[in-house]
Structure 1
Amino acid sequence: MDLKLRGKSALVTGASQGIGAATAEVLAEEGCDLHLAARNAAALEELARRLRQEHGVDVQVHPADLRRPEDLTRLADAVPDIDILVNNAGDIPGGTLDAIDANTWRHAWDLKVLGYIDLTRLVYARMRTRGHGVIVNNIGVAGERVDANYIAGSSGNAALMAFTRALGGGSPADGIRVVGVNPGAVATERILTLMKKQSGSSSGDESRLTSTFPFGRAAEPREVADLIAFVASDRSAYTSGVVFTIDGGLSATAG
């Protein structure tokens, strides 16, 4: 399916690996020019080189720590004319209320929660001036299937779900769509490490950890990235203020 993204431009944060890198790949395949942001400059440069070579799109990299207000401002100033923003950078650790101290909680939220909100604020103002744009927030199913053992993540994701719905409900008046995506467990290094920590396993037996999941596996990053690209495209032009869950049906089960 042609998503009609050719010639458009997108900023993807957290683009050096996992869902962010997969999203960059899908958008490049569709002919979208890219701005990629993350802290790992070397990984960004390698991904950008490959995407330029394989897909013939323009790719620019922006090494940045999105916890830092000055980096957020610099990034927004460097991409004044983007059509799509994909907020994806995030790293909230697992743990109970007693296990996550105040500094750890704030450090995590500065990137995943406030980083999304602050970058959206900067980019939204520019999109509103132009009269169009799409913002996709990659959030996480823990915001709807809350978990006391992932309390900082569940709370942060729930906040971002509310933010997405509140902003996306009014944004069509400015010609802008705001949409969320809630992945369940995805086969990225970070998620597998988190799962092992929560289960108490150090064996590396990923099949045992995922055997109770729908279809007996975690989602692939590409499966989430395909959904992000679709909702960012004009094929989903009447969609705003909603959050799509992609967890193999797990959130639809009782308990």
Structure 2
Amino acid sequence: MDLGLGGKKAIICASSRGLGRGCAEALAEAGCAIVLNGRNEAVLAETRAAIESRFGVPVQTVAADVSTPQGQEALLAACPDPDILVNNNGGPPRRDYSELDRAALLEGAIQNFVTPVELIQAVVPRMKERGFGRIVNITSLSVKMPIEGLDLSSGARAGLTAFLAGVCRQLAPHGITVNNLLPGKMDTDRLKGGFERTAVQTGKPVDDIRAQQAAEIPARRFGNATEFGQTCAFLCSVHAGYITGQNILMDGGLYPAAF
């Protein structure tokens, strides 16, 4: 399917690896010029080379912490007028709520609530001028279903979801859509790190933990960055202009609900 994105410009935050990279690759395949972001210059360079070689589209890299004003300025200097913004950022590490002090709470809110709002504020004016814009926020299954130890991440991302529920209706008349992708258990480094922590805590082999958790998912497997990215690219396409304010679960059926 032609997504109608040839020549569009896309900023994808935290995109040197994992789900962000999956989104970058899918948008590059659709013909977008890509701005990659991450903190590790070597990993960014490898991802840039792979995308340029495979898809032949222009790729820029911005090595910066997107949750800082300086990082956002660098990202927007590389692409002042993106057609597409994919908000993504690592969540706070797993910690019991009782262990969170004020500094940790504020940092979590900045990473997963304040930062995407600030970037949306920055890119929307030019999107309005063009009458086209696509904003996709990578949040989490934990917005809908509690996950032990991720209370801070869940709260910040749920706050972002509620905040943008009204904003997206203001932007819809201008041809701008705002949607959220909620990954469940995806086969990423973060998930693997969770297996390793559980192995240390329980003494069970990592492979056994992985198999047990996969068996709990109706699809009987973990998701992957490629299928996640392709879903993101569709939400950014010309065909998805009538989809806005939606929370798209990608969890293999793990969340048990009819609606």
TM-score (norm 1): 0.92
- C-alpha distance in structure 1 between counterparts of 2:104 and 2:192, whole Å: 20
Query: Aligned pair 1:221/2:225, yes or no?
Result: yes
1: CA distance, partners of 2:141 / 2:36: 24
* The 10-residue stretch of structure 1 (135-144 or 78-87) with the greater mean CA deviation from structure 2: 78-87
The sequence identity of aligned pairs, in percent, is 31
Runs of 5+ in structure 1 lacking a partner? Answer: none
Q: How far apart, in 2, do the equivalents of 1:129 and 1:38 lie? A: 29
Identify if the C-alpha distance between structure 1 residues 178 and 54 changes in structure 2 by more than 3 Å, giving closer, same or farther: same
Hey, what does 2:239 align to over in structure 1? 235
- Partner of 2:214 in structure 1? 210
Mean CA deviation greater in 126-135 or 47-56: 126-135
Where 1:219 maps in the other structure, the secondary structure is coil
Q: Indicate the larger mover: 187-196 or 17-26.
A: 187-196
Alpha-carbon distance, 1:146 to partner: 2.4
User: For 1:243 and 1:253, how far apart are their aligned partners in 2?
Assistant: 14
Superposed CA deviations along residues 130-184 of structure 1, whole A, max 9, x for unmatched, are 3321111011110111245321121112112113322212211232111111111
What is the Cα deviation at residue 11 of structure 1?
Answer: 0.6
SS in 2 for 1:239: coil
Change (3 A) 1:92 1:53: same
Look up the equivalent residue of 2:174 and give its one-letter code: D
Paired amino acid for 1:185: K
Deviations 1:46-72 (A, max 9, x none): 111111111110001111111211221
Q: Give distance in 2, aligned partners of 1:34 and 1:201.
A: 42
Give 1:97 deviation, angstroms. 1.0
Name the amino acid aligned to 2:250. I
Deviations 1:196-243 (Å, cap 9, x if unpaired)? 546844632222332212222221111211111110111111111111
What SS does the aligned partner of 2:134 have? strand
Query: Gaps spanning 5+ residues in structure 2: where?
Result: none
Determine the structure 1 residue equivalent to 2:77: 77
Q: Contact 1:164–1:243 (CA<8 Å) still a contact in 2?
A: no
Matching residue's letter, 2:190 = R
1:130 is matched with which residue?
Answer: 130
Distance, in Å, in 2 between the alignment partners of 1:125 and 1:74 is 18
Question: Tell me, what secondary structure is at the counterpart of 1:81?
Answer: coil
Work out the CA distance in 2 between the residues paired with 1:111 and 1:147: 18
Q: What is the aligned length?
A: 254
Letter in 2 for 1:159: G
User: Quick one: distance in 2 between partners of 1:194 and 1:102?
Assistant: 25
3-state DSSP of counterpart to 2:89: coil
Residue number in structure 2 paired with 1:58: 58
Alpha carbons 1:86, 1:138 under 8 Å: kept: yes
Tell me the C-alpha RMSD between the 2 structures. 1.9
Q: Quick one: distance in 2 between partners of 1:42 and 1:189?
A: 17
Equivalent-residue separation in structure 2 for 1:218 and 1:100 (angstroms): 30
**Distance across 2 between alignment mates of 1:140 and 1:14:** 15
CA distance change for structure 1 residues 242 and 212 in 2, over 3 Å: closer, same or farther? same
Give, in whole Å, the separation in 1 of the partners of 2:103 and 2:61. Answer: 30
